[in-house]
A = this chain, B = another copy of it.
Amino acid sequence: MGFFSQLEQSLLMTEKNEYDLLAKRMKDIYLLGYTKAIVDWDTKVYMPSDGYEQRAEGLGILDTHIHDMFVSEQTGELLKKSYKLPNLTDIQKRNLYLWQRDYDHETKVPSELVQQLTEQASKTEHIWEGAKNKSDFKMVKPELEKLFELTKKKAAYLNPDISIYDSLLDIYEPHLTQTMVTDYFNVLKTGIMKVLKGCVNCADQPDDKILKQSVPESQQEELSSILKKLIGMDTKRSRLDKTEHPFTTGYGDDVRITTHYLEKDVMASFYSVMHEAGHARYELDLPKEHMWTAVGQSCGMATHESQSRFIENICGRSEEFLSYIFLQIKKIVPAFADLTFKPFIRAINVVKPSKIRIYSDEVTYSLHVIMRYEIERDLCSGKISIADLPNVWVNRMQEYLGVKIDNDKEGVLQDVHWYGGMFGYFPSYALGNIYDGQFLRTLKKDIPNWKIELKSGNFNDVIGWMDKNIHKKGFMYDSINLVEKITGEKPNAQYFVDYLNEKYKKIYGF
């Protein structure tokens, strides 16, 4: 078997250069990744339950194949030779940079350590499930300690010249550092705690019980399909299904979102559809001409969250959009027939410190993320240890949110991330909010009347702006640079604080 495939050899002998060959190889890898995403989707959406074991094996082998294809010597060789080609375009250079970055990530870490990490992560996640059920952190503590040690080793291999935590942050958001995050999050924390104080001290609290009516699934589905249409999810290129936990997957002309329907909480599916549809529009709008290359991907998780949360919160919970959809909801959901608008919009935007991140409101959400960031950071610096996690968690929840955590399940065991080895991931969630504040400011300057269209359920202005400024840029820039390019400023959390302050002052009247 030659070093290059027969096809590659014959292509090299014709007009193709090494970059073209690499691009073809990467396209194949992306395409295989796409088929894997569809099988993953099926696993969560339609697979008969007993298929689980063979499915896990099948996906494991497919994953190994894709990985082996990417980290092969051929890829390394093509990368090396492509760099030396004359007249590379900026797009080609960016692709090479991103592929090299991924290649380094996958090859710098000894394969033995990768294997250990994969196994330890899978084991820890499995034990975490049991521990969460029994609400007992101690059950998973020894495994989490092992996983954390392996993760630190990996971080050192990836970037021996920077701190462990900076190396972990860089995995999920290129060039993000602890110093930057601390700066952003300090502004965010101070600002949010002030807004939160204003809300909780208000005498006239919204009553969100009015939203907790029994609503049949068929009515909830009707609302979902209206939202999907309003947010411009083309049915020829996308679909919506039901799963336990909502998510978005797919690529190109085949993007899929899911939601869940809770009988007594129609707004849960309503906003999960808006959130996932925000993700979906990003994927659907990526630049056609760069499909199946690195530049044709989204620019990472923080930006993805900024898109979903902009649609869900900044648009979806705005007075303008709610004034439109309120009438639709009343038509479709008889249980809401007697509701009036003001209590409705106040209930939708209720601010209430709570225990669980994924059920928290627009104001307190970032505080959940910030405390996780601070804990990760202190773990990596050695200031605290894995054994300290439950107590640190309880104390910080009390300090930031005034919430008393009674057990590990609602505390340190609530999120899977750490138990899957994803240390350094949490900051992206709040970073998305910070970007949103900044995008909003620039959007207002570019289209002063942008919100007017929302009054008739029309998202063209806002998504058009996002499309041009964000979606169509693909992964041409790292997210931090993209934010600066669009807004003329480095990430600055103050704008998101300003947005919250203005909005909630009006709703709560503080």
Give residues in A with beta carbon < 8 Å to B: 1, 28, 31-32, 34-36, 38-39, 42, 46-55, 57-59, 61-62, 65, 72-73, 234-239, 241, 251-255
- Do the beta carbons of B237 and A48 come within 8 Å of each other? yes
- Do the beta carbons of B35 and A35 come within 8 Å of each other? yes
| Identical chains bound together, number | 2
- Do the beta carbons of B35 and A59 come within 8 Å of each other? yes
Q: How many angstroms from the CA of A442 to the CA of B415 in the assembled complex?
A: 60
Give the shortest distance, in Å, between A230 (CB) and chain B (any CB): 18
- Do the beta carbons of B58 and A34 come within 8 Å of each other? yes
- Do the beta carbons of A50 and B253 come within 8 Å of each other? yes
Closest residue of chain B to A51 (Cβ to Cβ) is: B254
Q: List the B side residues contacting A65 at CB < 8 Å.
A: 32, 65
- Do the beta carbons of B61 and A253 come within 8 Å of each other? no
Q: A32-B65, A54-B254 are in contact. Are A1 and B73 (CB under 8 A)?
A: yes
Q: Given A31-B61, A51-B254, A65-B65, 5 other A-B contacts at CB below 8 A?
A: A32-B62, A35-B61, A47-B254, A48-B236, A50-B234
Q: Which of B48, B236, B252 contacts A54 (CB 8 A)?
A: B252
Closest residue of chain B to A235 (Cβ to Cβ) is: B48
Give the shortest distance, in Å, between A42 (CB) and chain B (any CB): 5
Q: Which of B32, B52, B61 contacts A58 (CB 8 A)?
A: B32
Q: Which of B54, B237, B253 contacts A31 (CB 8 A)?
A: B54
Q: List the B side residues contacting A239 at CB < 8 Å.
A: 46, 48
Q: List the B side residues contacting A36 at CB < 8 Å.
A: 35
Give the shortest distance, in Å, between A241 (CB) and chain B (any CB): 8
- Do the beta carbons of B237 and A51 come within 8 Å of each other? yes
**30 sampled A-B residue pairs with Cβ under 8 A:** A1-B72, A1-B73, A28-B61, A31-B57, A32-B58, A32-B62, A32-B65, A34-B58, A35-B39, A35-B58, A35-B59, A38-B38, A38-B39, A46-B239, A46-B241, A48-B235, A48-B237, A48-B253, A48-B254, A49-B236, A50-B236, A50-B237, A51-B237, A51-B252, A51-B253, A53-B253, A54-B251, A54-B253, A54-B254, A65-B65
Q: How many angstroms from the CA of A235 to the CA of B51 in the assembled complex?
A: 11
Q: List the B side residues contacting A255 at CB < 8 Å.
A: 48
Q: Nearest 3 A-B pairs (CB), nearest first?
A: A51-B254, A50-B253, A31-B58
